[in-house]
Amino acid sequence: MNEQSDPGTGPYVALRCRGCGAGLRARAWREGMACPHCRGKDVRPVPAPGGAVDYIVADRRQGTTAADVMFAEWAKWCGYVTANQCNAAVHRQNSELQSGQTARPIHEVMISLGSLDEKTADGLLRFLALRRPDANDDDFAARLLRRDDVDSDAVEKVRTLQREMAGKRNEVPPIAQLLVQKRVISEAQMLELLQEQAKDGAGALKAALDVSRAPVKEKVVEKITRRVAASPLTPRNAAAVLGLVVLVAAVWAWRLRGPVVLAYGQCTACGAWVAIPWNPREWPAICPRCHIRAVLFAVKCPNGHVFLRSSPDGREPCPVCHADFGRPLTQRDFERVLQEPAKPRASSQPVSRPAPVRP
């Protein structure tokens, strides 16, 4: 395995302009360097957890970024979070934007929701910041090319792309993830091959688990619980237990607080654009206007095209530019869609007209 990159010691450093707030990446920092966005001279280094410079300086002014998706996918593939927890974190990011806040990196959102602990998140960021291409990438590509149902030319193109990315970025996705993003292989094929590598003691999945499985520090609440459990039951200890229950309830109430998160989509039956309360299990959703389960999930690609997917977990590419990445709409995106002239916005796959559902 390659050496892990510690914060500030990799080929790039993370910077932030105090004038315009832009995140920057540079080979080195010096006093008085100018921001390329506002030309201000107040640019300062910022911590990059796990050495993930590109991740921490990603522009989240429009919501979830490709860097957030990269992190969330590995958290899911390692089994640390579920697909629903990933979607809940994305929607919390968008709810922060809707309330006028700056969207936090998705690992911070997952920690605040209780989906992930800090130690595991830091380990995953260290894994993403490892230098690539590496031996695990070469092994994955070699195993893949031994299969008869794989386009070898397409695989080589992605390997060339990965090498080019290594000269321009700090975090380069493992070849397995890039091949899925470029639709050369499916996610199921990738996971099957990663698990095969892991059985042989190699591969990106094993590396991600090894880096992120370090012991977690005992939390304060757990420490108090252990001490109380080891003590004889007295009125004083009973009061401590009651106080602990109240404390835990208050912490969870604080974690779960926040505005109602809305999801945006379009009804394929009546054509209405609608905003509905977020529910990861109910897609297609029931249209509040025509009461038919025909609302598809709306997303926006990096090139600004708004299109529909069958569900928040859908992987349909943009039908205009074929981009794989699509983030959920923000409230501002939704308002702009409502102001545009009515026109069909179909998903990249044909959608059969659903059966009516009683209101």
Q: How confident is the model over 286-319, as pLDDT tens digits?
A: 888 888 888 898 888 878 889 998 887 777 888 8
Q: Are residues 126 and 186 in the same domain?
A: yes
Q: Are residues 212 and 292 in the same domain?
A: no
Provide the domain count of the chain. 3
- For residues 50 and 125, is the Cβ–Cβ distance under 8 A? yes
What was the pLDDT predicted at 232? 56
Q: Are residues 170 and 298 in the same domain?
A: no
Q: How confident is the model over 333-357, as pLDDT tens digits?
A: 888 888 876 554 444 443 344 444 4
133 inside domain: yes
Better-predicted residue by pLDDT, 224 or 28 = 28
d(CA 276, CA 173): 34
pLDDT of residue 3 exceeding 80, the answer is no
Better-predicted residue by pLDDT, 32 or 173 = 173
Q: How confident is the model over 322-334, as pLDDT tens digits?
A: 877 778 887 778 8
Q: Are residues 207 and 233 in the same domain?
A: no
Coarse DSSP helix, strand, coil percentages of the chain, rounded to the nearest 5 percent: 40, 10, 45
Q: Are residues 107 and 185 in the same domain?
A: yes
Q: Are residues 207 and 66 in the same domain?
A: yes
d(CA 268, CA 261): 22
Amino acid at 84: N
Q: Are residues 192 and 228 in the same domain?
A: no
Q: What is the pTM of this model?
A: 0.61
269 inside domain: yes
Q: Are residues 80 and 204 in the same domain?
A: yes
- Which domain, by its residues, includes 311? 262-339
What was the pLDDT predicted at 61? 79
User: Which residues face 190 on adjacent strands?
Assistant: none
- For residues 93 and 63, is the Cβ–Cβ distance under 8 A? yes
348 inside domain: no
Q: How confident is the model over 205-247, as pLDDT tens digits?
A: 999 998 887 544 444 444 444 554 555 555 555 565 566 555 6
123 inside domain: yes
Question: Which residue from 112, 81, 75, 84 is spatially nearest to 96, judged by alpha carbons?
Answer: 112
